[in-house]
A and B are shown apart, each in its own frame.
Chain A
Amino acid sequence: MLELRLVQGSLLKKVIEAIKDLVTDANFDCSATGLSLQAMDSSHVALVALLLRSEGFEHYRCDRNISMGMNLNNMSKMLKCAGNDDIITIKGDDGGDTITFMFESPNQDKISDFEMKLMDIDSEHLGIPEAEYHAIVKMPSSEFSRICKDLSSIGDTVVISVTKEGVKFTTRGDIGTANIVCRQNKTIDKPDEATIIEMNEPVSLTFALRYLNSFTKATSLSESVTISLSSDLPVVIEYKIADMGYIRFYLAPKIED
């Protein structure tokens, strides 16, 4: 038996919108810890890891660990039927082949339930070890989104370099080149608008902008984004989900020939 009641239902709507273009089908794993997901895009270049901790739900009942395969496009269709202020409850039975989404309007005058078919998904779970990153950049998520969008109109790939000067985003295309440097900026009252650069050693990596642009669909989940870079690891782009967990996107770098 599974019953998860999420008062801020819009969070679930946003999470699914953020990942549905990257991943078609995914297993949602439910345990005492929370609701989690790990999935790769079809070319295995990017990976998304989601965690919604049990404490973030108003009511959380998960009698035993279960994995529920869902088509994210279908899930999106159903969650779009929930209002932004609705409370969403996810209900399922052990071994059942469907899951129910219940939507309650804030003043309880409209209650809907949508039953969705589950699917069997063969997915390989990758072990992601804790790592020391060469550099970690925290910046406003809207700024990161703007940079990825702007650069993708000029080139296909971006070089992200962190030095003591700041973080530099560089692209090159048929029409020319572009460099955007963001410097550390802690001296503002609003911490969400700060750019904070922690650097253990300089790092420079090249990534496909197409994927980074896809990750920025999570921008509305968090005011800030954290970019963790190491020369021998995929970059991690993390959006924290208030009081609940995170959505992390991993992207494998381009490798020099």
Chain B
Amino acid sequence: KGSQGRMESFFKPM
């Protein structure tokens, strides 16, 4: 079914 992505894979900490 695919694995669940996480926010940090898309947006970098400021």
Contact residues of A with B, CB < 8 Å?
Answer: 40, 43-47, 124-129, 157, 206, 208, 232-234, 250, 252-257
B14 touches A44 (CB 8 A): no
A254 touches B7 (CB 8 A): no
- Nearest-CB distance from B10 to chain A (Å)? 5
B4 touches A257 (CB 8 A): no
B2 touches A254 (CB 8 A): yes
| Cα–Cα distance between A122 and B4 once the two chains are bound (Å) | 24
- Nearest-CB distance from A127 to chain B (Å)? 5
Q: Write the B1-14 contact mask toward A (1 if CB under 8 angstroms, else 0).
A: 11111111111111
A256 touches B2 (CB 8 A): yes
| Cα–Cα distance between A45 and B11 once the two chains are bound (Å) | 12
Q: Which of B1, B4, B5, B14 is within 8 Å of A127, CB to CB? A: B14
A44 touches B6 (CB 8 A): yes
Looking at A47, A127, A128, A252, the one whose CB has the most chain B CB atoms below 10 A away is A252
Q: List 28 A-B contacts (CB under 8 A).
A: A43-B4, A45-B5, A45-B6, A47-B11, A124-B13, A124-B14, A125-B14, A126-B7, A126-B11, A127-B11, A127-B13, A128-B11, A129-B11, A206-B1, A232-B10, A233-B10, A234-B10, A250-B7, A252-B4, A252-B9, A252-B10, A254-B2, A254-B5, A255-B4, A255-B5, A256-B2, A257-B2, A257-B3
| Cα–Cα distance between A44 and B9 once the two chains are bound (Å) | 10
List A contacts of B13 (CB < 8 A).
124-127
List A contacts of B4 (CB < 8 A).
43, 45, 208, 252, 254-255
- Nearest-CB distance from A62 to chain B (Å)? 21
| Cα–Cα distance between A255 and B4 once the two chains are bound (Å) | 6
Q: Which of B1, B3, B5, B8 is within 8 Å of A126, CB to CB? A: B8
| Cα–Cα distance between A126 and B5 once the two chains are bound (Å) | 15
- Nearest-CB distance from A9 to chain B (Å)? 31
| Cα–Cα distance between A206 and B7 once the two chains are bound (Å) | 15
- Nearest-CB distance from B2 to chain A (Å)? 4
Looking at B5, B9, B14, the one whose CB has the most chain A CB atoms below 10 A away is B5
